[in-house]
Structure 1
């Protein structure tokens, strides 16, 4: 996932800028449990086998709708965090492409070839693969699908969407703001009082 790359990049940049890794855990994110639940629902089909997997994939549109619905609700609950507004827009664009195409993200075959991911093609034509589908002439909202290739020498070649980019930018900004956030005046006063009492 491109988002994971953005997270790692942001942490590295934050550390180079002498930011605090500890402050990431202090980001006031609401409904965090719903974000994790949405991810569990979204990626659960990947671990299913046999007839159970076939059944779930048959209703992948419903699974995607529930997963993204929870995620969007969680993100909207965090509107006070400006970087997450960008993430929300990215999720919304991906959600639109996925829901409009039967619950699966459409992927450009040209982008797959350019990225050197030929082995990935078989998944795009596999009806039991729950996450992506090959982009065809009848595909809706192609512009929001996975149409951008990232080939070698990038260490982890991939194809990604406009929504992925927006999500990455939002998460990058959120982590940077958190890691480089200076202590407020009230925090400093509280620490001084604590030291005096000690």
Structure 2
């Protein structure tokens, strides 16, 4: 959900920037966009599609999450020439590291889940070490979590209608998306176009 907010805010901010500067708002064409679409499929099946998410095993959910993160990381790498994609890629890498270090799912502490639902920790009925509902999270105490500082440990403000926990990697991903769309509002030239003046200067020197 934090990514959705970043997409909306980034697109609006970029459009306003282009409008103020009186230039067309042109979002650059991304390479291997199909990788991003392909990466969405395993997450959709494991965490969003009502029937499959209720029947998929923990191992299946872990495979879906890790494979999705790897595909998104490849997508970010293929588009690293665009501003914002280094941040996005760094966030994906941090998430992949903590997920891989904790059995293939994103760790979240009982304290964070209790804060998320506004209940006392003792009221939680989720066994430690188990998947949290049909989500991508696994409930782990901070003392048993590898790379705990990269886990889902932050919450959106209470006035935000949709409550969700998110990680430092998610923050970097959101910032990368914001930078990408903000930069698009400032005008875009393809890598080939940006190198054209240099090539022209080189030819003139000959």
Q: TM-score, normalised by structure 2?
A: 0.74
User: How far off its partner does 1:183 sit?
Assistant: 7.5
Q: Is the 8 A contact 1:112 1:158 kept in 2?
A: no
- 1:12 maps to 12
Q: Is the 8 A contact 1:7 1:172 kept in 2?
A: yes
Q: Which region of structure 1 is more displaced relative to structure 2, 38-47 or 10-19?
A: 10-19
User: How far off its partner does 1:113 sit?
Assistant: 3.5
User: How far off its partner does 1:169 sit?
Assistant: 0.6
User: Using a 3 Å threshold, how does the CA distance of structure 1 residues 61 and 51 change in structure 2: closer, same or farther?
Assistant: closer
- 2:197 maps to none
- 1:191 maps to none
- 2:99 maps to 98
Q: Is the 8 A contact 1:117 1:158 kept in 2?
A: no
User: How far off its partner does 1:13 sit?
Assistant: 2.2
Taking the aligned partners of 1:173 and 1:22, their CA distance within structure 2 comes to: 14
Are 2:145 and 1:139 equivalent residues in the alignment?
yes
Are 2:181 and 1:175 equivalent residues in the alignment?
yes
- What's the CA shift string for 1:85-108, capped at 9, x where partnerless? 110000001111112112211113
State the SS of the aligned residue for 1:106: strand
Q: Is the 8 A contact 2:84 2:177 kept in 1?
A: yes
Structure 2: runs of 5+ lacking an equivalent: 194-206
State the SS of the aligned residue for 1:180: coil
> What do you get for the CA RMSD once the two structures are aligned?
2.9
Q: Is the 8 A contact 1:29 1:78 kept in 2?
A: yes
Q: Is the 8 A contact 1:10 1:175 kept in 2?
A: yes
User: How far off its partner does 1:166 sit?
Assistant: 0.4
- 2:160 maps to 154
State the SS of the aligned residue for 1:59: helix
Q: Which region of structure 1 is more displaced relative to structure 2, 124-133 or 60-69?
A: 124-133
Alignment of 1:27-176 (within 5 A): 27-46=28-47, 47=49, 49=51, 53-55=55-57, 57-116=58-117, 118=119, 127=131, 129-136=134-141, 137-176=143-182
Taking the aligned partners of 1:51 and 1:180, their CA distance within structure 2 comes to: 41
- What's the CA shift string for 1:42-77, capped at 9, x where partnerless? 22113263798234x333332223222211111111
